[in-house]
Structure formats: C-alpha cells, structure tokens
Chain A
C-alpha cells in the first residue's frame, strides 16, 4: 500500500523519507507526494487500481485538505481510501468538519512521528 502525503510545503518529502527511512528500506511502506489538493487528485486518477492511504494537510492554497477529503470520499466509494488529516489549527471546527466528511483520523502539527508510525502500521495491517 502506498501512502500519499499531501502538503504545500515541499520539504515534507525529504522529512518523511528520512523519518521513515528504515520502513522504506525494508519495503514496509511506500510513499508518494503531492504538493496540492489538485495534484493529489491527479495522482489518484493516474493510479486508479492502487490502494492508497492519504495523509493530507488542511491549509493549502487552492483546494484545501477538507475539499480533497470530500472529493475522495464521494468519488471512491468501494472501498474508500483511508484519509488522515493533519493541520496546524487543531480546533473543534476543523475537527468536526473533517469527521463529518469521513476523515479516518485527525492529527495536529507538530506531527508526533513515532505515534504516526504506529497509526500507519495499524492501518496497513
């Protein structure tokens, strides 16, 4: 299973590949990156047959993480991909909105990587 990380900060790619270097090396996890909601949709369309777990930021210029979540949950019904939201604003409104739209998890920045690692592992099993 591939993990698609969506964030407008390009340095997340380098961060994730280093944070998960042993998992990547051991082929436990595989990562793809998109730097906007639009790019993420494009990726999804190009990889229709691939099971994907999405890890998306909420605050992005253009299409927001919540819109991406809505789009994914509407379009890919069976089985809907797991979508985890990450945001700098850990407020109730964002949380409720994400949950209403069907987010599978809700994380706040700064990301606790050991915890994320555990969560991803349980999701992947």
Chain B
C-alpha cells in the first residue's frame, strides 16, 4: 500500500515538473499539493493504523485512480502518460493483489508466489519503460531546446529585420531628398546651359555685326554713288535733248538704266545681308528649308572675314573657295549651319593668326590661307573648312568638341563654339563633324574640319 502512495507521489512530482516547464503550473499547483498532502497523510495514517485496517489502502488506491483519471482526461497532463504506462502494471498488480487479499485471504496465500513473479515482471517493465521514457524525454528536451533556439534566432532575425526596415526607410528618405536636390540642380544647369547658348549666339552675333557693317557699307555706297551719278546724267541728258542731240541723249538714258539696275542690285544685296542678320539673331526656329550650300558658305565666309578684319586691322589671309556647282539645295536650318560654318572659319582665322605671330617672331615667311570647299558625295554634301595654321596637338584633339574646352585665353572664347557646332550638325541634321589635323609638319601643317550633311 505504501508503494501505491509513493508511486502517486512520484507521478505528482513528475507532473508538477512538466507543468512547470510548460508554464501551466499555476492552474494545477493547488490540486497537486493537495494530492501530495493526501499522500503524506495516507502514509502517516497507514503507519498509525495496523496492517489489518484496510481503509488507508483503499483510500490510496482511490487517490491513485482519480489521478489516473485526471491524467487521461486532461490535455495538460498528457506529458505524464508515459510515466503512467511504466507504472501501470505495477500498480495494477498491487491493486489486484490487495483486492484478492481482501476478498479471499486463503486464495491469496496460495497464489502469493504468482503475484511475486508478476510484481517482478512489472518492475522489469517499469524500469525498461522508465529508461525508454527518459530517452524520449531527453530527445524531446533536445527538440524543445532546438525549437527555443530557433525561436530565439527567429526573434533576432525579426529585430534585425525591423532595424533594417527603419534603415531602409531612412535611406529612401535620404535618397529622395538627394534626388530632389539633383533634379533642382539639373534644372538650374539646364537654364544655365540655355543662357550660355544664348550668350554664345550673341557673341557670334557680335562677331557678325562688324562684318555686316562692312558688308552693308559697300552696297550702300554704290546705291548713293550710282543715284548721284544718275542725277548728273539726267541733267546732261536734258541738256543734250535741248540741243537736239537725240543720239547722245539716248546713250545717256542707257547709262541711267544701267545705273538703276546697279542701284537695284546693290539695294537687294544690302537687303539680303540685313535679312541674314535678322535670321541669325532670331531664336532658331529649327525649321529646315532647302538651302543653297555654296551661297551660304560664301555669305558666311565674307561675314566672318570682315568681322575679324573689323576687330583686328592687321589681320589678313588668302581666302580660297572651291564650290561644287553640282550640289543641289538641301534641307537644313540655314542660321544654324551658318553659325557652324562661321564658327569653324573664325577658328581657322584664329589658327593662322597665331601661326603668323610665331613665324614673324622666327623671321620666317608665311602666307596665311583659309579655304572653304564644298563637294557632292554619295551620302550628301561635304563642307571642308581648311587652314594652314598651327594644327591641333594630338592630346587635345579628342577634347575639342567638349563643352567649355578652349585653348583661347580667358575671355576670348566661351569654349562652347565647337560643342554647339557638333550638336547642330549631329543632333540637328543627322550629319557628322570631323577634324583632320597635322601638327609640326614642315610642309603642310593645318587643320581641316569636315561637315557632312545627308541629302
């Protein structure tokens, strides 16, 4: 009977332990302690009462079975089941033994040996089960630890994730701010660029103005002179008519007609120059129109030459033109391509001037020469602007089309001329702008810019 109570105690303590680790103890703690006190009370009761008083035995059995009942009905106690399985045979035999002992003491006496053997087997069973249980429990414990570890890792990952998300948010905000800043800077740069393009245009207009003034002066002089002369001729004609010299009057009339034609011609010439100037200063409309390339080249050659002459009186160069008459009109934006031609010519004049200075210093003979050549090619038209200046050093040849690159002293060039020219030809006209240059070649130094325009 003591055995039964002790087993009950073992189960209770085991149960308490498992409940504690599962965190369910608070609900059952009272009941378990009650059971423990009952067990102790029963043991005490049993030692006070003698062997023949059965009440304590049955009470302990009842206590055990009510515990058994609880274990099989309550989900929380599931963990105690293996222990019950281990102990069940022993308790069952104990119970049967007690029952048999109570019902028929003689029969019990005669079968006592069998009960002893059964108890032995039950003990063996118990030990085996306990060992297995222990093993399983250890495995379970391991698994639980592993799960806990995983849980921990998961929690750490979660924390890291949260921290990371905060970081990402911060970074995103920072990047958005930077993006906005960059966008603003870009806009500022764009407006600065358009201002620079405008100022480059104005600079080239300034170069043009002197050329235009000279170009316009000549036709105006002719208009004035021919009209003055015509007046004199008409006075003479009247006199001849008064004298009756019809033949002489007729000749004079022919002269006047010729003069009027000249006046008209030079008036138109001045008109075309003014129109060209207006076109140049006007914001580019980007409207392409059929243009006579040879006439355009000739016009801008004169304008840029006289423009430079007006600024630098000592400047002089041999101008050569070689125009291919087979070129038909091609579709271009005349003021844009005109600007490119003028820019290339201005550069060419600059190059020969530089060289002239060097050659004079060295006491050598030098004939500055700038030429403009047009040629029909299978793909379209080629315009070559050549000079016999110093040439472009190889190391800067690659850079000349870059914006703001200039070899001129500060204030003399914006560094935008060639880069704008490049854009006008490539982007604006699907053409090509190339450069060929020879430096330090005693025979033919110089630079040639080649504009290729598709038909």
A interface residues (Cβ-Cβ under 8 A, vs B) = 9, 11, 14-15, 18-19, 59, 61-62, 64, 67, 88-89, 91, 93-94, 97, 109-111, 113
Interface string of B217-232 (1 = CB under 8 A from A): 1101110111011000
B222 and A62 contact, CB distance less than 8 A: no
- Interface of B (DSSP majority class): helix
Of B46-54, B162-170, B310-318, B381-389, the one contacting chain A is: B310-318
**A89 partner residues in chain B, CB cutoff 8 A:** 214, 309-310, 313
In the complex, chain B residues 302-322 whose Cβ is within 8 Å of any chain A Cβ: 305-306, 309-310, 313-314, 316, 318-319
A114–chain B nearest beta-carbon distance, Å: 10
**B306 partner residues in chain A, CB cutoff 8 A:** 59
**B328 partner residues in chain A, CB cutoff 8 A:** none
Bound Cα distance A6, B225 (Å): 17
**B226 partner residues in chain A, CB cutoff 8 A:** 15, 18
10 pairs across A/B with beta carbons < 8 Å? A18-B259, A59-B214, A59-B306, A59-B309, A61-B318, A62-B318, A67-B316, A89-B309, A93-B314, A97-B313
**B229 partner residues in chain A, CB cutoff 8 A:** 15, 18-19
A69–chain B nearest beta-carbon distance, Å: 13
B222 and A15 contact, CB distance less than 8 A: yes
**B255 partner residues in chain A, CB cutoff 8 A:** 18
Bound Cα distance A93, B314 (Å): 8
Number of A-B contacts (CB under 8 A): 53
Bound Cα distance A110, B216 (Å): 12
B220–chain A nearest beta-carbon distance, Å: 8
Instruction: Name which residue of chain B comes closest to A65, CB basis.
Output: B316
Say yes or no: A110-B225 contact (C-beta < 8 A), given A61-B319, A62-B318, A62-B319: yes
Say yes or no: A88-B225 contact (C-beta < 8 A), given A11-B266, A14-B258, A18-B255: no
**B233 partner residues in chain A, CB cutoff 8 A:** 18
Bound Cα distance A62, B318 (Å): 4
A111 and B318 contact, CB distance less than 8 A: no
Say yes or no: A91-B221 contact (C-beta < 8 A), given A18-B233, A18-B255, A19-B229: no
Bound Cα distance A11, B228 (Å): 15
Q: Which of B221, B226, B233 has the most CB of A within 10 A?
A: B221
Q: A18-B233, A59-B214, A111-B221 are in contact. List 19 more A-B contacts (CB 8 A).
A: A11-B262, A14-B262, A15-B222, A15-B225, A18-B229, A18-B259, A61-B319, A62-B319, A88-B214, A88-B217, A89-B313, A93-B314, A97-B313, A109-B218, A110-B217, A110-B220, A110-B221, A110-B225, A113-B228
B356–chain A nearest beta-carbon distance, Å: 13
Instruction: Name which residue of chain A comes closest to B265, CB basis.
Output: A11
A15–chain B nearest beta-carbon distance, Å: 5
Bound Cα distance A64, B367 (Å): 12
**A94 partner residues in chain B, CB cutoff 8 A:** 313
Instruction: Name which residue of chain B comes closest to A38, CB basis.
Output: B318
Q: Which of B225, B233, B255, B259 has the most CB of A within 10 A?
A: B225
